[in-house]
Structure 1
């Protein structure tokens, strides 16, 4: 007798309450193996392939591409009737309940085949899913399709079951997902019957942008911008939905402005000696050191002197919570929006160690491969907006942190050096802090210490 199990959208990580369906990887009538990815979704943080914890035949799918689903909503149903996961089909019985599987970063090995299956086990009703990683690509998956022996428990959202006329299994290969900047671009392509696989993306590493799709629409002029596709267009202008990463950033910044009474102070500093010290470090054998890594090391030294700023505020208990570890976030701009990767235990790392971790996280951010742990748990943020060619800013604190250091561009400017006018490399440093955790004296002391280390890196050596 066939047992029909319902697979719901699992918890995708800290603070994520739902996801948008980007692309179904299976159809009604397909045979799926335990832990086989069945749908590609986009959360507020990245793209995720969701694996099914059951083996069997897909009898129904719920939600079309572009549909937003909350955590716990049905994704699909699987009928298992003597379908066991043999080699290549999940390695377990379909009658055994869920797999306790882990969500696999697209492009990585299947945990079932690599021996890295999650230790979390389900009860037979829940999925027990644990998120391991994110990505933008996915390995090709093999599947076979059969016609279900019985009727589906739910009406399929994607049409009737399909399969070979004689009921026998037929093997097909599913190609990996097309690299697209957002689900809205996919929707635009569907509206105009554009095959994304026939397009050559103009974005980084072949990423398909809105402009690429618009160029392929017959009778359209060359697009001007790369802004997302509008949900509706009226007389008062274009309406752009706040979804995905952009929506998550909007919510967090709005909350910060509502809840944190922030203040900002700033100072100009002569960074000539800092650049000279970095050049000397990079002349030695070893990995290259970035300016951001040196500034990160200065920040950890400053937070050791001013621990009130490595804190958070618990208003329910009316307490300021000083944090023992420094998990340093740094703002990174990507094609999908602003993200803040976090360097864990930054206070224990050397400049070289900070440089390596920042480089790793930056590359992962650009590839869309950051895991939830890479994006959460920060205690202090370093914002290098100088890469955009601007001198100063009053950054918004990354809630629930208590402070953020902003760094402008380092540019040659007239400067009084040893009593004489000279051309020096000058940087503007801005420091935004939560006025609940400290007063101006503490904030000013922190910023002045950072500026002193920038102007005379030898100051930093005294505390090492």
Structure 2
């Protein structure tokens, strides 16, 4: 309940004329079981003129203290200038700080701060919020002292020498390591940054049942035991066929002349991770090669890339890039287009997943295909058509026979 007092005088005390013109209103942040008793004690230590307090309506209103006669100077202070009536207010010890705000008490309690150890900075020895915050900050700084050193609990005298922290076994850090951006790393950074700056790219993706493609791979290896045909070669064969059907993605943009260059040959780049960094070797005239020839050329260029023997003309001039990041154990991404090309197909890992085939749930080999494309050369319909064609060929490789 809330009781409201209006400075009603109690018998034997000063009259209404002695009530100050202004009354101190105290804000509270929480109500607890003992909040009422503490609040009344604090009010008796103050002006004694309660406007809003906590308690029941049956308890007497707080009493005002009698002014000390003949002490004009004492009337200037709210505490020092008044003499408490016996039995109405406890005597505050000089060393006990005054805390008016329950918010300050709660903050001190939550952080384990002993209010009696603080030096009040408020008027009349009142502990303010900033006093508690400074104490909390001191405790936090002491907690940051390295293990093995004992933080001092008392202020260190000026004459006492400062303690030197023990030497750690690990070497001290000299700050961040600066690595020059040069060589292959610089070339990749420049090309990808230019791609992000110039190309308004978009990405679309689809999950695909690759069980049929894996079966076709085994059939090819069985028919040609001496010739290894990997999945990358099969995806390359499918992409070449798709670019013939959707030539918009086998393009580049000439920004100076504001023209779209649609290339008549497919120069297929593929991402290869080497010790020197990421490189993109280019298979020239990929549209003229058979699947077995594609597999052989991919293997040859990969070996040259790993040994650092690729000629410069095999690292430039691509029109479309294939990125098989599934070898790193990831499912999908939003690939950055290899500038100045117009599209890039990413292939995720192939994993067992539940799949519905002819109305029945079964376990199939599933992968995710992600296509990033330049929105300047085509719209989403063309990009979606290309990706759907690739997905259909992965699921039913016999579709490729139509382009043989």
TM-score (norm 1): 0.49
* Residue 385 of structure 1 pairs with residue 295 of structure 2: no
The 3-state SS of whatever aligns with 2:332 is coil
Q: Distance in 2 between matches of 1:460 and 1:374?
A: 27
The 3-state SS of whatever aligns with 2:403 is coil
Q: Distance in 1 between matches of 2:374 and 2:256?
A: 17
Match in the other structure for 1:424: 364
Shift, 1:394, TM fit = 0.6
Match in the other structure for 2:30: none
Q: Distance in 2 between matches of 1:318 and 1:245?
A: 30
Shift, 1:239, TM fit = 1.3
Shift, 1:463, TM fit = 1.6
1:455 aligned to 395, 399, 403, which one?
395
* Residue 321 of structure 1 pairs with residue 269 of structure 2: no
Q: Distance in 1 between matches of 2:300 and 2:211?
A: 27
Match in the other structure for 2:68: none
Q: Distance in 1 between matches of 2:214 and 2:398?
A: 13
Q: Distance in 1 between matches of 2:298 and 2:354?
A: 32
The 3-state SS of whatever aligns with 2:215 is helix
Match in the other structure for 1:354: 294
Gaps of 5+ in 2: 1-168
TM-score (norm 2): 0.57
Aligned pairs for 1:18-29 (under 5 A) are none
Could you give the per-residue CA deviations for residues 20-51 of structure 1, whole angstroms, max 9, x where no partner exists? Answer: xxxxxxxxxxxxxxxxxxxxxxxxxxxxxxxx
Match in the other structure for 2:386: 446
Could you give the per-residue CA deviations for residues 124-180 of structure 1, whole angstroms, max 9, x where no partner exists? Answer: xxxxxxxxxxxxxxxxxxxxxxxxxxxxxxxxxxxxxxxxxxxxxxxxxxxxxxxxx
Shift, 1:234, TM fit = 4.8
RMSD: 1.6
The 3-state SS of whatever aligns with 2:349 is coil
Q: Distance in 2 between matches of 1:411 and 1:461?
A: 27
Aligned pairs for 1:65-464 (under 5 A) are 234-235=174-175, 237-285=176-224, 286-464=226-404
| Deviation >6 Å, runs of 4+ | none
Gaps of 5+ in 1: 1-220, 223-232
Match in the other structure for 1:4: none
Higher helix share: 2
Q: Distance in 2 between matches of 1:234 and 1:439?
A: 51
Q: Distance in 1 between matches of 2:221 and 2:242?
A: 24
Q: Distance in 1 between matches of 2:174 and 2:335?
A: 33
Q: Distance in 2 between matches of 1:430 and 1:313?
A: 22
The 3-state SS of whatever aligns with 1:370 is coil
Q: How many residues align?
A: 234
Higher strand share: 1
Could you give the per-residue CA deviations for residues 365-415 of structure 1, whole angstroms, max 9, x where no partner exists? Answer: 111110001111100000000010000011100000000000000111111
